[in-house]
Amino acid sequence: MENIVFKEYDEMTREEMYSLVHNVYMESCIGNAKEYCSEKGAFTDEEFESTLKNEIENFVNFFQKFFATADNKYYVLEENGIPLCAARLSKIDNFYYLEALETAPEHRKKGYATRLLNDIINLYSLKGAVDIRDCVNKKNTASLATHRKCGFTIAQENGTCYLYNTTSDSQYGMRYFSDSRLSKE
């Protein structure tokens, strides 16, 4: 029986942060650790393990800083308390910036990212107009398809990271916009 719930976090315990990293973002942490070690040249298993441990700690420290900013939220689909899929939202001026939409590898291709995005959109639609922006790697066909399925369109050929005011030619700038005051189509 499916026991999947949509959760909104405006703060997390350290235990919840570690659970989210280990269950959803571990693949990214491993990739970052491998990249860092590769840049250093040859490395041992011990150096990799140490680098991975630092990467996990950096992620948890990032969470603490993220939650220190008002209006920042983390959205997670969980099954029996275990995170399956997550994304974070930051309020920027008159829109929201979505980041880190990720699904644990063993839970991919089950519709969880679509469900999470739709749950976020539905939640914000209750408040009125919805304007959510995101950057998606141009080669990430699965994420592009998920965004499109949820109503996002490519708004920029070169995506803008609004948190750092940078652009990237390897990413599309995606946008979801709906004004609930307009007539339903």
pTM of the model: 0.90
Q: What is the pLDDT of residues 147-172, one digit of tens each?
A: 999 999 999 999 998 888 899 999 99
Judge whether residue 7 has pLDDT over 50.
Answer: yes
pLDDT tens digits, one per residue of 11-66 = 999 999 999 999 999 999 999 999 988 888 867 889 999 999 999 999 999 999 99
SS (H, E, C) 127-144: CCCEEEEEEEECCCHHHH
Residue-level pLDDT at 181: 52
Q: CA angle at residue 23 from 18 to 24, to 5 degrees?
A: 100
Q: What is the pLDDT of residues 120-132, one digit of tens each?
A: 999 999 888 899 9
Q: How confident is the model at residue 185 (pLDDT cuts 50, 70, 90)?
A: very low
Cα–Cα nearest to 95, from 135, 142, 129, 52: 129
- Across the chain, how many H-helices and E-strands are there? 5, 9
CA distance 70 to 178: 24
Confidence of residue 75 (pLDDT cuts 50, 70, 90): very high
Q: What is the pLDDT of residue 183?
A: 39
pLDDT score of 2: 72
The model's confidence at residue 10, banded by pLDDT at 50, 70 and 90, is very high
User: What DSSP character marks residue 106?
Assistant: G
What pLDDT shows up at residue 1? 44
d(CA 154, CA 136): 9
Residues 29 and 9: their CA atoms lie apart, in Å, by 21
Predicted confidence (pLDDT) per residue in 88-116, tens digit: 999 998 999 999 999 999 999 999 999 99
CA distance 99 to 30: 19
